[in-house]
């Protein structure tokens, strides 16, 4: 069978100011869209292979709608990175197929070291992960030995292993607030926008790594205000990885799961959404009577053309998924020594969020730790 050669797509975006985030060599492969007949054949083959391989799909909200729908149709999950971590750990399947980006596959492997973790494309990465290499990050931590190291999920296993706490956008406010109440001073990495939002909300003493998401960094407040004027009744939903001037215009700010909740519960027919447009599929599916508009990344003040969609999330496709299930290719491996260390901050996060969900005093779970 002839191999399909997928063209490389250069990813253009403005570099963050400073010298602690270098992702200038970013690129992505965009799989071709299958025909209706090919799509049906691939889905049928994947469903069969999932059963034969004792495998389950774990898909992020930002991947192709086909992969979201297929995960739910086969007993898997579509969720944010926090719920992906929980689900993969607790599901009995011995093979996890993670449709997302590399750090999500690594996290699944860290939490389930005895399971096989596969991904449609191992080169699917993240600008936040790329922009926070372990050597430079370790040196940054060494410059601030008195601070508690809190890292976002969008980081490598090695960076997680260097941290005290892991957070996602759905639990970062609660964890940093609890650490502040315990007197901790925070070293935050890698997303400076999310870190700035948390600092404004909590008043915590924080120093920041200079990273950003190439999708969220490109939302434009000036053009968003124009769109709001055109749709005066629309509510604005914003992910906190967006710039502060965009966040300031929001009616609701939060993680992907929080955006879904706000769209369901808010009394509005129209919404303007400032996060990866992969979210639109789930928003529209769950809210058929509502209208969802993409927040602008282009216009008079634009500096790049990210088009509100992560190029690496777009690397996940049905053909790649079928191939890894058939061949066992694209398996995720994590150095066991790094995995053991990286699991500590992940388990702290999962224990904290589970206690919070059950109404327990999660702050009491805070260990008296300093920097990693």
Residue 114 host element (H or E): none
Q: pLDDT per residue over 117-127, tens digit each?
A: 999 999 999 99
Task: Answer whether 96's CB lies under 8 Å from 112's CB.
Answer: yes
Region of poorest pLDDT, from 18-22, 308-312, 317-321: 18-22
The number of residues in the chain equals: 372
What confidence score (pLDDT) does residue 370 get? 53
Q: Which residue from 295, 303, 274 is spatially nearest to 12, judged by alpha carbons?
A: 303
Task: Answer whether 185's CB lies under 8 Å from 208's CB.
Answer: no
| Cα 36 to Cα 325: distance, rounded to the nearest angstrom | 21
Mean pLDDT of 297-321: 76
Task: Answer whether 234's CB lies under 8 Å from 271's CB.
Answer: yes
Task: Answer whether 246's CB lies under 8 Å from 295's CB.
Answer: yes
pLDDT level of residue 369 (50, 70, 90 thresholds): low
Q: Which residue from 163, 159, 203, 211 is spatially nearest to 187, judged by alpha carbons?
A: 163
Taking the model in full, what pTM does it have? 0.88
Tokens of 83: 């719920």
pLDDT level of residue 19 (50, 70, 90 thresholds): very low
pLDDT level of residue 43 (50, 70, 90 thresholds): very high
Task: Answer whether 265's CB lies under 8 Å from 239's CB.
Answer: no
């Amino acid at each position: 069978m002839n191999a399909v050669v997928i063209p490389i797509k250069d990813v253009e975006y403005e570099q963050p100011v400073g010298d602690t985030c270098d992702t200038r060599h970013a690129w992505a492969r965009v799989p071709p869209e299958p025909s209706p007949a090919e799509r049906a054949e691939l889905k049928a083959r994947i469903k069969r292979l999932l059963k034969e391989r004792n495998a389950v799909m774990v898909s992020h909200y930002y991947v192709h709608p086909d992969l979201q729908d297929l995960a739910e149709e086969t007993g898997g999950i579509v969720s944010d990175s926090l719920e992906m971590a929980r689900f993969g750990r607790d599901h009995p399947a011995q093979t996890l197929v993670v449709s997302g980006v590399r750090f999500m596959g690594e996290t699944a492997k860290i939490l389930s070291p005895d399971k096989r973790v596969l991904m449609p494309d191992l080169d699917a990465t993240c600008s936040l992960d790329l922009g926070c290499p372990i050597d430079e990050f370790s040196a940054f931590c060494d410059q601030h030995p008195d601070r508690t190291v809190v890292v976002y999920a969008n980081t490598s296993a090695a960076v997680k292993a260097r941290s005290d706490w892991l957070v996602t956008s759905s639990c970062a406010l609660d964890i940093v607030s609890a650490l502040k109440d315990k007197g901790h001073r925070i070293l935050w990495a890698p997303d400076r926008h999310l870190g700035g939002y948390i600092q404004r909300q909590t008043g915590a003493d924080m120093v920041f790594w200079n990273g950003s998401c190439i999708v969220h960094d490109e939302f434009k407040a000036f053009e968003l205000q124009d769109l709001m004027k055109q749709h005066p009744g629309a509510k604005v939903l914003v992910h906190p990885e967006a710039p502060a001037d965009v966040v300031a215009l929001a009616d609701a700010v939060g993680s992907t799961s929080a955006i879904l909740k706000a769209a369901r519960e808010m009394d509005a027919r129209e919404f303007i959404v400032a996060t990866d447009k992969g979210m639109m599929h789930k928003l529209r599916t769950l809210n058929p009577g509502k209208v969802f508009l993409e927040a602008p990344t282009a216009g008079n003040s634009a500096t790049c053309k990210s088009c509100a969609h992560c190029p690496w999330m777009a690397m996940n496709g049905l053909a790649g998924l079928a191939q890894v299930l058939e061949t066992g290719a694209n398996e995720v491996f994590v150095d066991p020594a790094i995995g053991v260390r990286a699991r500590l901050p992940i388990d702290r996060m999962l224990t904290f969020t589970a206690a919070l969900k059950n109404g327990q005093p999660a702050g009491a779970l805070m260990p008296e730790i300093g920097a990693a």
